[in-house]
Amino acid sequence: MMLAGIILCFINHLNAQVWTAGDNVTLQVSEFALIETNHAPVTLTLATSTAGAPVGSVSNSDLFVKISSIVPGGTDRELTARISSGSIPAGTSLTLVSANCTTANSGGTRGTAITTPILLSAVDQFLVRYIATCYTGTGYNDGYQMTFTWMPLNPAANYSQIAAATYNITVVFTLTAHDGN
The pLDDT of 97-123, averaged and rounded, is 97
Q: How confident is the model at residue 156 (pLDDT cuts 50, 70, 90)?
A: confident
- 85 compared with 181, residue with greater pLDDT: 85
Q: What angle do CA 18, 20, 23 make, to 5 degrees?
A: 170
Q: How large is the average pLDDT for residues 16-23?
A: 89
DSSP code, position 116: S
Mean pLDDT of 130-140: 97
33: pLDDT confidence band, cut at 50, 70 and 90?
very high
Residue 4, pLDDT > 80, answer: no
Class of domain 28-175: mainly beta
16 pLDDT more than 80: no
State residue 12's pLDDT score. Answer: 54
Q: How many CB atoms lie within 10 A of CB 146?
A: 25
* Structure confidence at residue 17 (pLDDT): 86
**What is the CA angle 94-55-65, rounded to 5?**
30
Flag whether pLDDT at 15 surpasses 80: no
The more confidently predicted of residues 84 and 180 is 84
| pLDDT at residue 179, as a whole number | 79
Q: Residue 180 has what pLDDT?
A: 65
Are the C-beta atoms of residues 108 and 101 closer than 8 Å to each other? Answer: no
Q: CA 151, 155, 157, 158: dihedral to nearest 10 degrees?
A: 40
Average pLDDT value over all residues in the chain:
92
Query: Which of 179, 175, 180 shows the shortest CA–CA distance to 65?
Result: 175
